[in-house]
Structure 1
Amino acid sequence: MKFSDELTEKLLVTANKIATQKHMCAIKNAFTALIPVIITGSFCTLITNVVCATEGNGISLGKLPGMQWLSMFTDWFNAANYATLNFFTVAAVVLIGLELGKLNKMQGFMPGIIALCSFVSCLPSFVEITNEGAVIQVANVIGKDYTASRGLFLGIVIALVSVEIYTKLVTSEVMKINMPDSVPGNVSNSFNVLFPSMVTILICALFNFVTTKFIGMSLYSIIYTFLQTPLEKVMQGLPGLLILMFVSQAFWSIGIHGNQIIKPVRDPLLNAAILANTDMVAQGIQDISKLNIINMSFWDTYMSLGGSGCTLGLVIAILLLSKREDYRAIAKLETAPAIFEINEPMIFGLPIVLNPLLVVPFILTPLVTGTFAYFMTKIGFAGVCVYAMPWTTPPILSAWLSTGGSIGAIVTQIICIVMAVLIYAPFVLLANKAQDTQQ
């Protein structure tokens, strides 16, 4: 067996294990379902800043003469933003619980409810505020830090652990309460899971209680300090981003949906980053040193132009340089989908998959465009991506929307498209020669 065949087989086995691992599937499915919530919250913040705002440094319709009346809608959009982005972790916990419950063959909504109750039981029930130099503790409230993006990893961990505990207790039937046949089914089911539910929530609450009392740190502090923050730092560094993209492209190259493979790792980190940016912008923070350059919108805006592998560049290169009728036919068919970041016709039609000639630029191009865009953002030429958007948003519009109207971002994205064309062009010319040789 050739080395390439052995590598392909190992990648296929690895991909299958990742794709079928139930905890990864639960996280992936939950974040896919939450896309509308993320985009709604970002859209509301965008409207507040570019339409309703009458003060600040940014460009806004409300600052134009006679348009100050638009500020009356600020509270409307702020309310929707608060309900979505500031409770994003709560929604994620419930959905992860439900998804894992389905995979564990638990019927009904109890896994999602158990996950949420267990998560809340691990949160401090007070916040501290500073008023005129004095620290005041406000009791019986849950801070935004816990329900927004900062509490995301704690929510994921608690949702997975609590549902697994609950599942084992229910399936063991040790705590099952047998009710007479005359009792309605819904009442009987509630009593069947009464003690498993109670024990699960108490275990999670006890674990947080013990860590707080004996370690002096809550579960939130431990997970945020030792898990979430280090992972975010890795992903906010260019090497971490490029490694993640390389892994995705490598899987795509053998016919496996690379984004789906890395989704359970990528989405919590990059979505948390874009949510944090949106929240900071809503608070009036524009300092690039405080914003997350690398986030989900950055990935879509600069590293997925035309779809995975930045194949919009390949489409343009083929239309300009290719003499192969099969390539040109597929490129013409792909032109419209590529505008909306859909590129399966190219990946499986040319094909790019298992094609030694096109796999190299397919892997290389997003690494180059991502690196270029990162440094252009770092030096302040391109605005930071601060708003989430649908991944199908066309180029130019995506750069404008995700950055809140940065012309530098639009220019950077155009340069990235040109770079993609230049990277793919030599390989398109080689494909021409390959066909001539075969003839």
Structure 2
Amino acid sequence: MNGITAWMEKYLVPIAAKIGSQKHLVALRDSFIGMLPATLAGAMAALISAIVTTFPSALQQMIQGPTKAAASAAAGTGWTLANTPVFKELNNISGLVNQGTLTVIGLIFAFSWGYNLARAYGVNDLAGGIVSTATLMMGLPNQFGRFTTALANIGGMDKATGASKANDAVNTVLSNQFIATWKPGFAAGQLDAGAYFTVMIMGAIAVIIYAKLMLADITIKMPESVPPAVAKAFLAIIPTIAALYIAGIIYYIVNTLSGESLVFLIQKYIAQPFQILSQNIISVLIVTIFVSIFWFFGIHGPNVLSPALDGIWGPLGLDNMNLWNKIHTSGIQHLVANGATSRAHAINGEYVNIWVRGSWDAFAWFGGSGGTITLVLAILIFSKRKDYQIVGRLGLAPGLFNINEPVLFGLPVVLNAIFAIPFVVAPLVAVVVAYVATALQLVNPVVLAVPWVTPPIMNAFMATGFDWRAIIIAIINLAITFFIWAPFVIAANKMEEADLD
């Protein structure tokens, strides 16, 4: 064990330290963290809507059974809060909150990414956020052009002039109304988490160009008499114009040569392959292992791997949530039952992701990375060491809300050779159990973005759209991780006895 630890300290820790300090990755990590208030607000709105519109019927299904519950719903006698005063309004308000957060989370990420990247370069961070946001909007396909092309293809509108080609009066009126009222714009669906990869690539290019020009002092300098805010804005004018025009040239050339928008190409050839690979159990286990290994050496694993966890699995979780809001639990179960768990096997263009960012929190990282709430329980039950008992009691309350730093650094678990094995193995086993259970339709996939501070068991129940089977899977995994941790806690007692002798 000492040999393995020494090898990792020599070869792995320096790599992790470089990753953790690389300014672009740090900026990316900080960008996701910076979005946390908006993400949690949107998640809370989605949960409220889920409780109001779905949870009562789910509870009724548990009490009456699927057949009777379906009959009650068809007869209009099903118990629901959605049509109840106050709850109805609360649901509508939550929809507005969701619309301003998760529906346009890609736009929010664009500003956060540009802001943090510019700050990493030491230049005007506000202008960096604006450059990144503008770069995303520049690349979005114009909905006016797409709509007129679609009408031309079905014979409803002339592609060149926009005039109606329809012979019947109804189509003529509809086409003329469209010309009179439609304004160029963008679909909200292009501003959600699907924009992440476009933002990460094109936003980085534009902001780095902007930052380099700022650092090269290719700017407009104003007299000292000019107010600082105005002078600061003028400094960013030339770098901003140059960055946006270069990004625009890239968009234009790609669109001209390929006939497709760069946003679509990035999604198809970069984002989709990563997302497909992410649904493989091997990929999930690799990330799980490295989160534990980084934490063992005192490096915040989820933060280091945030570009993967939040950049790849995060959008998949939002995709599941959007799908669940549309087709609800019965629709999710239908897709999984028919194998629609990947884009290649989609049914009517819809498919469910088996594993998403929230799946770790729901089924593996109980009390934080490593499943350390079960370590605390094992300490309180089996440990004879006074120092462990003190830390265990102090770490119990934070651990219930998935905050495990008091335990990781208080026992410590960090660089503690005896706890290295369970810290890595416990979440691995839990991930395998949850992944297999989801794939075998024993539990619904995670479809709701639950705040990470939600206590274990409740997290799994809420995240799966209030699937009661998630409670059973969570309890099973808690028991498994507890029994993995317990022998090592007992072994720590013997180590203390040996030290005293």
TM-score between the two structures when normalised by the length of structure 1: 0.91
CA distance in 2, matches of 1:306, 1:328: 17
Q: Which residue of 2 aligns with 1:154?
A: 198
Q: Which residue of 2 aligns with 1:237?
A: 280
Letter matched to residue 400 of structure 2: I
In the TM superposition, 1:72-91 aligns within 5 A as: 73-91=90-108
1:84-108 deviation digits (Å, cap 9, x = unpaired): 1111000001011111111111135
Contact 2:81 2:88 in 1 (8 A): no
Q: Secondary structure at the match of 1:68?
A: coil
Deviation at 1:259, TM superposition (A): 1.8
Q: Which residue of 2 aligns with 1:140?
A: 184
Are positions 1:322 and 2:383 aligned together? yes
Q: Which residue of 1 aligns with 2:258?
A: 215
Structure 1 residues 339 and 228: alpha-carbon distance in aligned structure 2, compared to 1, 3 A threshold: same
Q: Which residue of 2 aligns with 1:105?
A: 122
CA distance in 2, matches of 1:150, 1:233: 14
Q: Which has the larger displacement, 281-290 or 395-404?
A: 281-290
Letter matched to residue 485 of structure 2: Y
Contact 1:53 1:71 in 2 (8 A): no
Are positions 1:282 and 2:282 aligned together? no
Deviation at 1:219, TM superposition (A): 1.4
1:280-310 deviation digits (Å, cap 9, x = unpaired): 1121252333222211211111121121110
Deviation at 1:232, TM superposition (A): 1.1
Q: 1:170 aligns with which of 203, 214, 217?
A: 214
Deviation at 1:171, TM superposition (A): 2.1
Runs (5+) with no aligned partner, structure 1: none
Letter matched to residue 211 of structure 1: V
Letter matched to residue 79 of structure 1: L
Q: Secondary structure at the match of 1:109?
A: helix
Contact 1:54 1:63 in 2 (8 A): no
Q: 1:248 aligns with which of 280, 284, 291?
A: 291
CA distance in 2, matches of 1:417, 1:210: 54
Deviation at 1:72, TM superposition (A): 5.2
Structure 1 residues 57 and 217: alpha-carbon distance in aligned structure 2, compared to 1, 3 A threshold: farther
Deviation at 1:59, TM superposition (A): 5.9
Deviation at 1:57, TM superposition (A): 7.8
CA distance in 2, matches of 1:328, 1:55: 42
Are positions 1:51 and 2:68 aligned together? no
Deviation at 1:117, TM superposition (A): 0.9
Q: Secondary structure at the match of 2:8?
A: helix
CA distance in 2, matches of 1:169, 1:416: 53
Are positions 1:125 and 2:142 aligned together? yes
Deviation at 1:10, TM superposition (A): 2.8
TM-score between the two structures when normalised by the length of structure 2: 0.80
1:67-126 deviation digits (Å, cap 9, x = unpaired): 733445543322221211111000001011111111111135111111111111111111
Are positions 1:388 and 2:449 aligned together? yes
Q: Secondary structure at the match of 1:415?
A: helix
CA distance in 1, matches of 2:294, 2:222: 52
**Rg bigger for which structure?**
2
Q: 2:270 aligns with which of 222, 227, 232?
A: 227
Letter matched to residue 100 of structure 1: L
Q: Secondary structure at the match of 1:213?
A: helix
Q: 1:372 aligns with which of 414, 433, 438?
A: 433
Deviation at 1:28, TM superposition (A): 0.7
Q: Which residue of 1 aligns with 2:459?
A: 398
The count of residues paired between Structure 1 and Structure 2 equals 438
Contact 2:295 2:414 in 1 (8 A): yes
Q: 1:293 aligns with which of 345, 350, 354?
A: 354
1:251-295 deviation digits (Å, cap 9, x = unpaired): 111222222211222111222111111111121252333222211
Deviation at 1:198, TM superposition (A): 1.2
Q: In percent, how many aligned pairs have the same letter? A: 28
Letter matched to residue 130 of structure 2: I
Structure 1 residues 107 and 313: alpha-carbon distance in aligned structure 2, compared to 1, 3 A threshold: same
Q: Which residue of 2 aligns with 1:35?
A: 36
Letter matched to residue 95 of structure 1: S
Letter matched to residue 467 of structure 2: S
Structure 1 residues 24 and 63: alpha-carbon distance in aligned structure 2, compared to 1, 3 A threshold: farther
Contact 1:42 1:278 in 2 (8 A): no
CA distance in 2, matches of 1:178, 1:327: 61
Structure 1 residues 2 and 274: alpha-carbon distance in aligned structure 2, compared to 1, 3 A threshold: closer
Deviation at 1:139, TM superposition (A): 6.2
Runs (5+) with no aligned partner, structure 2: 62-72, 160-181, 342-350
CA distance in 2, matches of 1:33, 1:82: 19
Letter matched to residue 142 of structure 1: F
Structure 1 residues 53 and 244: alpha-carbon distance in aligned structure 2, compared to 1, 3 A threshold: closer
Structure 1 residues 225 and 67: alpha-carbon distance in aligned structure 2, compared to 1, 3 A threshold: closer
Contact 2:114 2:203 in 1 (8 A): yes
Structure 1 residues 6 and 74: alpha-carbon distance in aligned structure 2, compared to 1, 3 A threshold: closer
Q: Which has the larger displacement, 68-77 or 111-120?
A: 68-77
Contact 2:55 2:466 in 1 (8 A): no
Q: Which residue of 2 aligns with 1:68?
A: 83
Q: 2:364 aligns with which of 282, 288, 303?
A: 303
Deviation at 1:333, TM superposition (A): 2.5
CA distance in 1, matches of 2:458, 2:449: 13
Deviation at 1:180, TM superposition (A): 4.6
Structure 1 residues 200 and 407: alpha-carbon distance in aligned structure 2, compared to 1, 3 A threshold: same
Contact 1:323 1:432 in 2 (8 A): yes
RMSD: 2.9
Deviation at 1:47, TM superposition (A): 2.4
